[in-house]
Amino acid sequence: MHRFLLTALFACLAASAFAASPARPNILFIFSDDHAQHAISAYGSKVNQTPHLDRLARAGVRFNHAFVTNSICTPSRATLLTGKYSHANGVPVFNVFDGNRPNVAKLLQAAGYHTGMIGKWHLGSDPTGFDRWIVLPGQGIYFDPDFLTPHGRVTIKGHTTEITTKLGLEFIDTRPKDKPFFLMLHQKAPHRAWEPDPKNKALFANKVIPEPATLWDDYATRPAALPENQQTIANDLTRRDLKLTPPADLAPGPARQQWLNTKPTEVEVTQLDGSKKTLTGRELVKWKYQRYMQDYLACVQGVDDGVGEVLDYLDRTGLAANTVVIYSSDNGWYLGDLGMYDKRFMYEPGLHIPLLARGPGIKAGSVTDLFALNADFAPTFLDLAGVKVPADMHGRSLVPILRGEKPRDWRTSAYYRYYHDPGHHNTRAHYGVRTATHKLIHYWKKDAWELFDLTKDPTEQKNLITDPAQAGKIAELKTEIVRLQKQLGDTGQFATEIPRDGVDAPKNVPRLGEKSVKEAVVAAVP
């Protein structure tokens, strides 16, 4: 069924004006949603094992310090496509990406690559620059998801992680063999509401996950924004998040939805001896953490399984020899760190993203501490393909680093800016700079600053902004922020309150209703 879908819907529409060059590698970019770097065992995870991502790391390079420039889904994806920060790509929050803008897929397509986009898109407009695309509408759902195609909407039975992986493999299998390919394979998982496939759900159902040292953070030295946030394990997980079962007499409808969306302050659980116990207070927070992490990590495990399938396919078909495989995520994520889930804040768990790459010319087992940004992805794809990187892209190609080089002029600081204030989790707008040893954050609407010495305080517990001994460092970092803003053209004049309506309802896509895959293909394809 899946093969029929891909073959029919993704037929090559036009011959390229460029002949394929054997020297140009295939580029496979696997992108997950909200995957914490510290939920990968190659990065030293204390909560799970990811054998296939570890396999990718062993066969190539691991970036210890890859950063997102705006830790939220839609802006991150716009940066991925354009190589530009949010103020320059038109997507600072959940607004619709303008498909008429230049993007990396268009440039690779023009250079003779067969381009594909499969999975979570979440940019509000139709994908452009892709020979073939099949994407989830908005966030998409985990089970029996709908997908949007140029020909209409189709429903595919199964779990979205497994389906996305299969569609990706079929894209590669049915590609024109006389062209290199560029595939963006985007998983929905492990995004909220953390609904894993049955196998991995069972795998984690009874596991006890170690708590992070900062789960009980009281935010004592950081009063500007953290105490207001609404993405805490203790107070903000809903009954839906915790997979609690509604009362049997509560019929589907508004009342049931209200029950599911409530944030419980007590929960009744069944103990091993069959007795019931009502959890409150600290005991309830510990239980919430376990439920959240069990489902989150089970979703991660599904992504890891998919990566394994892809690597096996490439090895089995011989494509591995000329295919660069890159794995990353659109955001960092909090695994109870600082008492939180979600992303947004510039603290280390939300700022860092995983970045692993293997392929021709990449030395196996390499590790680098050089700073990478998600704005670097588009220039890297272009450089791998031998395509000139546009001068207006903010990112730089990572290819020299992939080859084991250490460019002398490489960045030693990273600029970050988050706009969505107050947003869905009451996260206040902020910008800042991170260096190898320090971080300075400015909550500009509150005119509040935070300074952290990451060498002495890696979990960012002690804000040093009022320490007189830090005056010189504060001045240095403020100067660096101004330099980076000037370099990037970030004037700070940007609307921050933009409705998200378009993101969840992509435009200009004919709907075929709830049809089977075969019926949809027959209806849509001449």
Domain at 175, CATH number? 3.40.720.10
- CB–CB of 138/151 below 8 Å? no
- What averages of pLDDT result for each successive group of 10 residues across the chain (526 residues)? 47 34 85 98 98 98 98 97 97 95 98 98 97 97 98 97 98 97 98 98 97 98 97 98 95 95 96 92 98 98 98 98 98 98 98 98 96 98 98 98 96 97 93 98 96 98 98 98 97 48 33 34 30
Do 20 and 153 belong to one domain?
A: yes
Measured CA to CA, the distance from residue 7 to residue 172 in angstroms comes to 11
Instruction: Supply the pLDDT for residue 197.
Output: 98
- Does any domain span residue 489? no
Domain limit, last residue, from 264, 288, 312: 288
Domain limit, last residue, from 248, 270, 288: 288
Structural domains of the chain, count:
2
Do 331 and 378 belong to one domain?
A: yes
69-120 tens-digit pLDDT: 999 999 999 999 999 999 999 999 998 999 999 999 999 999 999 999 999 9
Instruction: Supply the pLDDT for residue 271.
Output: 87
Domain limit, last residue, from 261, 288, 315: 288
Domain that holds residue 263: 217-288
Do 14 and 127 belong to one domain?
A: yes
In this structure, are strands 366-368 and 372-373 parallel, antiparallel, or unpaired?
unpaired
Do 301 and 277 belong to one domain?
A: no
Tokens 């979703």 correspond to 299
- Does any domain span residue 391? yes
187-206 tens-digit pLDDT: 999 999 999 999 999 999 99
Instruction: Supply the pLDDT for residue 214.
Output: 98
Query: By CB neighbour count within 10 A (0-12 exposed, 13-18 middle, 19+ buried), where does 13 fall?
Result: exposed
Do 315 and 190 belong to one domain?
A: yes
Instruction: Supply the pLDDT for residue 493.
Output: 56
Measured CA to CA, the distance from residue 159 to residue 148 in angstroms comes to 16
Do 192 and 339 belong to one domain?
A: yes
Nearest to 137 by CA among 118, 122, 151, 157: 122
Measured CA to CA, the distance from residue 139 to residue 160 in angstroms comes to 11
Instruction: Supply the pLDDT for residue 342.
Output: 97
CA 215 to chain centre: 23
